[in-house]
Structure 1
Amino acid sequence: MGWILASYLIFFQLLLLHFSSYNCLSCNSDDKSVLLQFKNSVAVVQSSPTFDVCVSHSPKTATWNNETDCCGWDGVVCDSELGHVIGLDLSCSPLKGELLGPNSSIFKLRHLQQLNLLSDDLDGSPIHPAIGDLVSLTDLTLYYLRISGDVPSTISHLSKLEHLDLTVESLDSTPRLDLYTWNRLIHNATNLREISLRGVNMSSLGESSLSLLTNLSSSLLSLHLTDTKLQGKWPTEIFRLPNLQEIRILTNENLRGELPNSNWTTPLKTLFIYQTNFSGDIPDSIAHLKSLYSLFLFESNFDGFIPPSLFDLTHLIFLYLSDNKLVGPIPTQIIKLSNLLLLDLSGNMLNGSIPLGCYSLPSLFILDLSNNQLTGSIVEFSTNSLKFLKLSNNKLQGYFPNFLAPHMQVLDISHNNLTGLIPKSLGTFFFLWALDLQDNNLHGSIPDNFSEGNALETIKLNGNHLKGPLPRTLNHCTNLEVLDLGNNDIEDKFPYWLKTLPTLQVLSLQSNKFYGNITSLGTKLSFPRLRIFDISNNYFIGPLPTSYIVNFQEMMNVNHSQTGPKYIGNYPLYNDSMMIVMKGLHWELTRILTALTLINLSNNMFEGEIPKAIGELKSLIGLNLSHNKITGTIPVSLSNLRNLEWLDLSCNQLKGEIPMTLTNLNSLAVLNLSQNQLEGVIPTGRQFDTFDNISYVGNPMLCGFPLSRSCKGKKERSKSSTFDEEESGFGWKAVVIGYGCGTIFGIILGYNVFFARKPHWLARLVEVVLKVKLPRTNNRKRVIRLGRKN
């Protein structure tokens, strides 16, 4: 009987398979033909880093062929009854070509309900008005790196639209969504649930047009408007839409607005306002948003006190209120937020002490209270979850606490008034990758127990009262990129044993008590990735460290393919910074450009000649050998440093003539050869015509422009044009030319423009062209800000 039962089972299985295949419809042949036509009209390109969130970058169209059913193709969804293509998802498959151009076959898919396209088209392509023919669309997602032309008004024909996402990542090709198209779209698409627009120019829309969003009060759940050039006043009533769960208004610097101060009870879960001109206080009414778990109100103009009622929102996970104008103390009610993962109140004017609740929040992962006016001492943290702690640029004082570090990764308490010793336990923090204690009053020695295999990438202890010698266990920090120990009282010989650190890019030992000769022992590859080498203001003697200079491999390579500024470290939660010295002034770079390569050996007792090997460091931006006992002539090989922007050889014992080939240094913006024994005619032409006499004073045997001493047989140039330059101590021509030929120096020199009270239009030019902000301050320490805070 068993075989009979088995036969019946096999029979029923075959019968089931027969009917299943009978009921499974193949895709519509016309739609299949359209998809194959589309595949042949576009090209798949290598995906951009923008799309690294994609799990796989293999093109979905690779599975499309005439031999298989299109309903089984990647990214294709078919109607279960008639086999029509109703969904096309080509996200994570960057395409190039006329995706939605006039000849696109997609417009023939008249049953299409969902369309998701990703374009990496560098030439840009417009959206054809035929988009309005896809009247069945409910979901439209277009992620373009470039797009030309305006958003067609026919998009308003898509009355069934529920989800609209249009993202443009190009700075030089911005599509426009005009007033008419917006008004018609909001009027017709009354079922819109999600609107996400990024990089689309909506500057023509005013408050009344935006107020039309209230017509979607029954449907709208999510609103994202990023970098849309909105201006004017934001309608406050939008915040009160009864079903709105998420609102993001980002990078609209001219958009004014305020938060509702009453009748604000909605199911809002995420409130994100960033880089806008919103102002006013954070009202008590925010406490009515009982579902809120993400609050991001930063880089705007919110002011006033932080309302204690804010901390009644016990579901909050992210509390991000940085870079505003908030004042007063941090409310003690913060202890209520037991679910809080991130608290960022940096960049405000908060005062008082850090409330005890901040030290014990059980889930807190990131705490950033930097750049405020907080006072008092730091107490011991009892939370084990904290990984990122930033308390820099406050007025905190007292002894350095003994931090708990279950998994601490960033510890930044720089620019305060902390005293005491650096705890030895810091050397055992295995996951710590940024240790920044600079500019405090710490004393004693550097911990000598850095563990093997640690994660440290940045150690910044400059500006304290630390004494030496340096601990040899620093050699265990094999991931180290930045080591800044300047402005301390460390007394030791040059730490040649650091030379094998494979990733070290910045080494600053300036203004300490290092002494002796600098000699290279052993390996040829000494400091292979070093970009910044500053050992100025010490007691080094003997010849210049040629044995190291000839091995600075990173300073020999010029990257011509790099586009846009890149920074050392460049992490979203911590930026490496450092001090450099120019024209006797200290400048703090809040981010370190990878293009900044410099050597500063000044204010020591080096002697002998300048090594010709320096001419091999072709990416060098700054060279300072001043205030030593260097003899010999200026080597002609320096003319190979075509990227050099400042050169200081002053206060030495150099002799001979200035090489005429130095006029080939087209990027040179600052030159100081003063107080030497140079002789002969000063070279003329190119950058040398922009330097004033301060570059050459103290060389009694030099003659020619711009000095008053003429050279016999040579025509003396008129110096009337240099009167203002001599009076200011800095050539005005050099200022102007410096911007065009020296990017790094142009940024720095912009400060000199402002503080020397030169024309405001040029100060503004520096801000616009170089994308820096010149601070309006009279502080003794002038801060150079390279880019926004991340």
Structure 2
Amino acid sequence: MGWVRLSYFLIFHCLLLHFPSYNCLLCNPRDKSALLQFKNSFLTNISSYVALFTEDLCSSYSSNMKSWNNLTDCCGWDGVTCDIRSGYVIGLNFSCIDLRGELLGPNSSIFSLRHLQQLTIAFSDFSGSSIHSTIGDLVNLTHLTLLNFGMTGDVPSTISHLSKLEYLLIGSINSLLNDPIKSYSKMRLDDYTWNRLIHNATNLREIYLDEVNMSSVGESSLSLLTNLSSSLLSLVLYDTQIKGKLPTAILRLPNLQEIDLSFNENVRGELPNSNWTTPLIILILRHTAFSGYIPDSIGHLKSLYILQLNSCNFHGFIPPSLFNLTQLSHLDLSNNKLVGPIPTQITTLSELLILNLNDNILNGSIPRWCYFLPSLSFLYLRNNQFTGSIGEFSTNSLQYLSLSNNKLQGNFPNSIFQLQNLTFLNLSSNDLSGVVDFHQFSKLKTIFYLDLSHNSLLSLKFENNFDCILPNLQYLFLSSSNVSSFPKFIAPNLEDLDLSHNRIRGSIPKWFHENLLRSSKNIRYIDLSFNKLRGDLPIPPNGLEIFLVSNNELSGNISLAMCNASTLFILNLAHNNLTGLIPQCLATFPSLSVLDLQNNNLYGSIPDNFSKGNSFETLKLNGNQLKGPLPRSLAHCTNLEVLDLGNNNIEDMFPHWLEILTTLQVLSLRSNKFHGVITSFDTKLPFSRLRIFDISGNYFTGPLPVSYIHNFQGMMNANDNQTGLKYLGENSLYNDSIVIVMKGIYIELTRILTVFTSIDLSNNMFEGEIPKVIGELHSLKGLNLSHNRITGTIPLSLGNLSNLEWLDLSCNQLKGEIPMTLTNLNFLSVLNLSKNQLEGMIPMGGQFNTFDNISYVGNLMLCGLPLSRSCKGNKEMLQHSTFDEESGFEWKAVVIGYGCGTIFGIILGYNVFFSGKPQWLTRLVEVVFNVRLPRTNNRKHVISLGRS
């Protein structure tokens, strides 16, 4: 329940139950005794925990029991209302008091107040308490309000005995507390109790059930509400988990003024197409499964004040009649599938305060009336397909303006600088053009949010000879806005700054260091990535949470002064020219989740002091000159999802002790000096969530790691039912990336789809056969086992890899025929079986009809299309191949040099021909020519995919 609604409720109860009631008559002695007994049963201090979240609501009114004593008349006590004739207590209002214990338990003296008509208990902490069935004894109740924190259990069926009820509010303020530590259970109201209540309480006028679990209440039970057609004024079932289709007749109830079914995602329904003339004032169906068209009949609701149909499934056009509702103040149709233009002809909407049409498929130009409505304060039109230019505003009421993610063109409207009350402006991701004098924004004294990002034709002009003062600015986003120099401004309250993807060159100015990095107390997010910055790395201040300066030309060391920024959550220094050692302190930052230092010139060893309980989820140190063994303290990174240490000089055995990292999904050790046989650490389900496993370009020996492949559960279950694209990681401020060899090409995936899985064990010295268990990795997209010493046949089980897109088994010692089962791989677009000893007919059908002879070169016993050798003359085929079985090299191919140059090819071919020892030769060539074969680092030839 929102704060506004809670405020309305509290004010209502204060007025309703605190009217003057004291008379010369003394209150009933039995009632007085019951109240004193009740007082002595509970603590009556204001709950500090609840008061923290309800301070504004309780400041105007809070009852207390200080006046409750034997010496005074109970009719004059705070929160007590008496009948002026009989002296019986007929009203109790306990709001903002910490009444701990079984308030409505079986022994509560409240239940002896049989003349009680109105009972309000609100904004108190009743953790673990429930409502006892004795509530049904208060048969004279007409108004019951229980709006508290922590109440659990079932609403007793005896509540249906309260046949005189006119007003019922049972709700929770759990969601307002938003406590990440505590978890709260809701109260439950079952189908039987609901049915009995609606059947007996025929005078119910207002029903408010807030965060009460009504999941058992279905379609037939909801239809009972039509029995209240003559009385029902308000129906609020907020986040109650009701389900089924709401009968349209309920929306037509003749006296209904308010209906709110918010956050019931399983309740369906449609709006009435005709005969809809009810006196509705508030209609809120947000976050439900209501669907269909918004009918023209909605224009008959002449009293409508609030209409919220956001986050439903409505489609079609916006009916023009909707804008003839002259009383309309709040209109929210966002997160639907509405199409077409906004109607241009309207009746004067003099009361319209909020217009929210975000996240639809609306098009056309923004109508002129949006620019001059006298009361319009919030205009939200983002994520649509609006075209044309932004008009000139002639109203001073506008506070929030969001037009981002459209196709708007033309110049920036100068009238925006005259909107003195503007606090929020977002025009990002459009096609705005022209020159904007940034200093004009200093006229907007109240603005706290400014986003002009991703307007490629817009040019911002800055005058650095004087400061632009923005006293209330907290968020400034100017990404991809053709900014060529640091904008000089003073914003003492700035929290977020994004200047990424611009043309800023040179060193970071001194004033930036002084005003933002040293003196600012509020700054928490800075993004300077994708510019042309040079010089030393700026040092972020303590308190900063996100610091992004990747893809620049920064140089020098990472200063030890970086250790002062221990509050960092994301640190991205990738793709610069940084050198020196990685400060050890970075491994000890308690909140650091992402550390990306890839593609610099850092050397030395990886920090060996990763602390227990750290927050690391992504650690990318690839593309540097790091050496030494892996630190065992990496095993403390129990939340790690991405670990990329590729393209370094790390020398170690395989880190089997990383098996215990149950969240690890990406592991890349490619192009290092790892060596030896891979053995398991005997961990239960090692690497069970791994999706990308790349250990290519090392010196691993022995059999392929079958014990790990057996447990790659993250690669076994293809999620064919997943809708939409989902990416690894949940942080919108950082995208996990990885460089892989896909279909023979080095490619950088700048975002990693959760369905993407690959294994690359190429360019090692693995021996033995391909394990059949690989065929169980049904979600596998790519498999590369090339350039090893693998023997045996291609297992038939590889034909089960139904999602496989590329398969590279080249440069091994495989024998036998190519299995026909591989023709089942309908997504296979790249196949490389070259440089083996395969024989027989090449399979026909499926994707095999698309592969050319490059896929099979070097297998002299293969025949059939696409090769020129016919399978009819198998006996006449060459009996002696030029393939050296011991070395696994074809010397004629070596003479060609694999594209490495004529001299290098001749030397390599000569030595292979005479010695037949490629391992010795490889080491020799590496020393003489200062290269590594065949583990060439192609960092300069990386293709990037997915960059936005």
Separation in 2 of the partners of 1:173 and 1:519?
48
Separation in 2 of the partners of 1:108 and 1:152?
18
Deviation for aligned residue 1:296: 1.0
Structure 1 residues 629 and 153: alpha-carbon distance in aligned structure 2, compared to 1, 3 A threshold: same
**SS of corresponding position for 1:274:** coil
Separation in 1 of the partners of 2:347 and 2:496?
36
**SS of corresponding position for 1:26:** coil
User: Is the aligned partner of 1:101 residue 2:110?
Assistant: no
2:54 to 43, 51, 55: 51
% identical aligned pairs: 48
Separation in 2 of the partners of 1:755 and 1:280?
36
Deviation for aligned residue 1:51: 2.7
Separation in 1 of the partners of 2:733 and 2:376?
41
**SS of corresponding position for 2:197:** helix
Q: Is the 8 A contact 1:167 1:200 kept in 2?
A: yes
Deviations 1:505-553 (A, max 9, x none): 0010000011112366xxxxx6221001111111111111432x12214
Deviations 1:733-765 (A, max 9, x none): xxxxxx9x99869997896224559989xxxxx
What's 1:25 paired with? Answer: 25
Structure 1 residues 22 and 278: alpha-carbon distance in aligned structure 2, compared to 1, 3 A threshold: closer
User: Is the aligned partner of 1:459 residue 2:472?
Assistant: no
Q: Is the 8 A contact 1:645 1:745 kept in 2?
A: no
User: Is the aligned partner of 1:516 residue 2:535?
Assistant: yes
User: Is the aligned partner of 1:718 residue 2:705?
Assistant: yes
**SS of corresponding position for 1:61:** coil
What is the 5 A alignment of 1:535-614?
Answer: 535-547=549-561, 549-555=562-568, 597-614=569-586
CA RMSD of aligned residues (A): 3.4
What is the 5 A alignment of 1:482-497?
Answer: 482-494=496-508, 495-497=512-514
User: Is the aligned partner of 1:503 residue 2:503?
Assistant: no
2:672 to 693, 699, 716: 699
What's 1:11 paired with? Answer: none
What's 2:144 paired with? Answer: 140
**SS of corresponding position for 1:362:** coil
Separation in 2 of the partners of 1:63 and 1:81?
22
User: Is the aligned partner of 1:114 residue 2:150?
Assistant: no
Deviation for aligned residue 1:351: 0.9
Deviations 1:375-408 (A, max 9, x none): 1111221211111000111121222222132211
2:545 to 527, 531, 551: 531
Letter in 2 for 1:331: P
Deviation for aligned residue 1:427: 3.4
Deviations 1:67-108 (A, max 9, x none): 332222211111212222111001222422111111111101
Letter in 1 for 2:513: Y
2:154 to 121, 146, 150: 150
Separation in 2 of the partners of 1:114 and 1:376?
58
**SS of corresponding position for 1:440:** coil
Q: Is the 8 A contact 1:430 1:451 kept in 2?
A: no
Deviation for aligned residue 1:126: 2.1
1:434 to 449, 453, 458: 449
User: Is the aligned partner of 1:472 residue 2:476?
Assistant: no
Deviations 1:251-301 (A, max 9, x none): 111111111111111211111111111011111111111111111111111
What's 2:169 paired with? Answer: 165
Deviation for aligned residue 1:330: 0.4
Letter in 2 for 1:472: K
Deviations 1:17-74 (A, max 9, x none): xxxx997122222212211211222234324255342225866134323333222221
Separation in 2 of the partners of 1:314 and 1:89?
38
Q: Is the 8 A contact 2:505 2:533 kept in 1?
A: yes
What is the 5 A alignment of 1:598-747?
Answer: 598-639=570-611, 642-687=614-659, 695-700=668-673, 703=676, 705=678, 707=695, 718-719=705-706, 721-722=708-709
Larger radius of gyration: 2
Deviations 1:313-371 (A, max 9, x none): 11111111111111110000246312211100111111111111111112110000011
Deviations 1:585-630 (A, max 9, x none): xxxxxxxxxxxx1111111111111122323422110111111111
Q: Is the 8 A contact 1:659 1:683 kept in 2?
A: no
Letter in 1 for 2:445: F
What's 1:561 paired with? Answer: none
Separation in 1 of the partners of 2:734 and 2:246?
35
Letter in 1 for 2:705: S
Separation in 2 of the partners of 1:546 and 1:57?
54
Identify the range of structure 1 (136-145 vs 167-176) with the bigger mean alpha-carbon deviation.
Answer: 167-176
Deviation for aligned residue 1:687: 4.6
User: Is the aligned partner of 1:287 residue 2:299?
Assistant: yes
**SS of corresponding position for 1:209:** helix
Q: Is the 8 A contact 1:601 1:624 kept in 2?
A: yes
Deviation for aligned residue 1:228: 1.6
Q: Is the 8 A contact 1:167 1:199 kept in 2?
A: yes
Higher relative contact order (CA 8 A, sep 6+): 1
What's 2:436 paired with? Answer: 422
User: Is the aligned partner of 1:89 residue 2:62?
Assistant: no
Separation in 2 of the partners of 1:87 and 1:365?
41
Q: Which runs of 5+ in 1 are unaligned?
A: 1-20, 521-525, 556-596, 733-738, 761-779, 784-790
Separation in 1 of the partners of 2:196 and 2:85?
33
Structure 1 residues 642 and 88: alpha-carbon distance in aligned structure 2, compared to 1, 3 A threshold: same
What is the 5 A alignment of 1:253-268?
Answer: 253-268=265-280
Structure 1 residues 152 and 693: alpha-carbon distance in aligned structure 2, compared to 1, 3 A threshold: closer
Q: Is the 8 A contact 2:260 2:284 kept in 1?
A: yes
Separation in 2 of the partners of 1:353 and 1:781?
31
Separation in 1 of the partners of 2:437 and 2:500?
20
Separation in 1 of the partners of 2:713 and 2:166?
68
User: Is the aligned partner of 1:233 residue 2:245?
Assistant: yes
Q: Is the 8 A contact 1:420 1:441 kept in 2?
A: no
Q: Is the 8 A contact 2:434 2:458 kept in 1?
A: yes
Q: Is the 8 A contact 1:617 1:641 kept in 2?
A: no
Separation in 2 of the partners of 1:722 and 1:28?
80
Q: Which runs of 5+ in 2 are unaligned?
A: 1-20, 175-182, 679-693, 720-725, 737-750, 759-776, 780-944
Q: Normalised by the size of structure 2, how large is the TM-score?
A: 0.68
What's 2:918 paired with? Answer: none
Q: Is the 8 A contact 1:703 1:710 kept in 2?
A: no
**SS of corresponding position for 1:187:** helix
2:423 to 390, 400, 409: 409
Q: Is the 8 A contact 1:484 1:507 kept in 2?
A: yes
Structure 1 residues 80 and 297: alpha-carbon distance in aligned structure 2, compared to 1, 3 A threshold: same
Q: Is the 8 A contact 1:267 1:292 kept in 2?
A: yes
Separation in 1 of the partners of 2:22 and 2:336?
66
Deviations 1:630-681 (A, max 9, x none): 1222222345672111111111111222222222222222111111122233
Separation in 1 of the partners of 2:335 and 2:523?
32
Deviations 1:162-214 (A, max 9, x none): 11111034574233323332232222222211111112233333333323222
Identify the range of structure 1 (133-142 vs 164-173) with the bigger mean alpha-carbon deviation.
Answer: 164-173
Deviations 1:410-447 (A, max 9, x none): 00111212222233312331111000111221444454
**SS of corresponding position for 1:426:** helix
Structure 1 residues 370 and 711: alpha-carbon distance in aligned structure 2, compared to 1, 3 A threshold: closer
